[in-house]
Homo-oligomer: A and B are copies of this chain.
Amino acid sequence: MPKYKIIARQMMRKINSDDMKQGDKLASIEELMKYFDVGKNTIIQVLTLLERQGYIYQVRGSGNFVRKHRRHGYINILEANGFQSTLQGFRLGSEMLDLKIIKPNTEVMANLDITAEEDVYYVKRLRSIEGRKFAVERSYYVKDIVPYLNQEIVEESIFRYLMEDLKLKPGFTDHFLRVGKLNQENAELLNLNTGDPTAFLESIYYLENGQPFDYSKVLYHYEETQFFIQGTNNMEL
């Protein structure tokens, strides 16, 4: 683990603690250099990372300041999988409704960038929070990359299994979100009425090397879910 990540972790813990609140000023770069005994660029790397992760904001000529929003219970959409982090403290559950190996249809082929001959795992899950159903998820995993899944994995955390056991390295993600009306099947699964509103989120997950391995379609219960998206300085380009 490189120095700048170790330092960043440490500072993130500090910022997350109750010691610090929105607008609090961090130590200056020079002080941080001395304290951690590293060069300036390393501190800059740390601060860039913290800024990008939404922990701080940087003000030229003035200092670095803690950034904290005040709302709780929102799903950070960029962590919509592995939402353990944003929804920590809530009791989450996953009920497996279906699990099988299939050949992809056109939609799945296009989104996972595979041919009709390649196998995919199809997983259908009902997700709950504090015992309340909040989402129906249909996911497709490229079998060449995810060679094995079972009920136990699927009802625990698939992403933890992929990362820790299969040692897959997730790279980037594309999310597409629409709003629509529930059909009968999905309404029944969520204990809602046909025609009720829903957030429909499609996500494509790519490995570090750019290969897509997971295409997920999730329908959220409109009364149980709210999303949070953090924007960082886009600077003038």
Complex Cα–Cα for A229 and B53 (A): 15
A74 near B12: Cβ-Cβ < 8 Å: no
| 17 residue pairs bridging A and B, Cβ less than 8 Å apart | A5-B237, A12-B237, A23-B210, A53-B237, A57-B206, A57-B210, A59-B208, A78-B229, A78-B234, A170-B234, A172-B233, A173-B230, A175-B229, A177-B229, A178-B227, A181-B222, A196-B197
Instruction: Judge if A62 is at the interface, Cβ distance under 8 Å.
Output: yes
Is the contact region of chain A dominated by helix, strand, or loop, or is it mixed?
mixed
Q: Assess whether A8 is in contact with B52, with CB atoms less than 8 Å apart.
A: no
**Listed residue (A8, A62, A233) with the most chain B CB atoms within 10 angstroms of its CB:** A233
Q: Assess whether A71 is interfacial by the CB under 8 Å rule.
A: yes
A231 lies within 8 A of chain B by Cβ: yes
Q: How far is the CA of A174 from the CA of B54 in the complex (A)?
A: 10
Interface size class on chain A is: 35 or more
Q: Does A77 belong to the interface (CB within 8 Å)?
A: yes
The answer, yes or no, to whether A171 is at the interface (CB within 8 Å) is yes
CB-CB contacts below 8 Å: A163-184 with B: 170-181
A232 to chain B, nearest CB (A): 5
**A179 x B197 contact (CB < 8 A):** yes
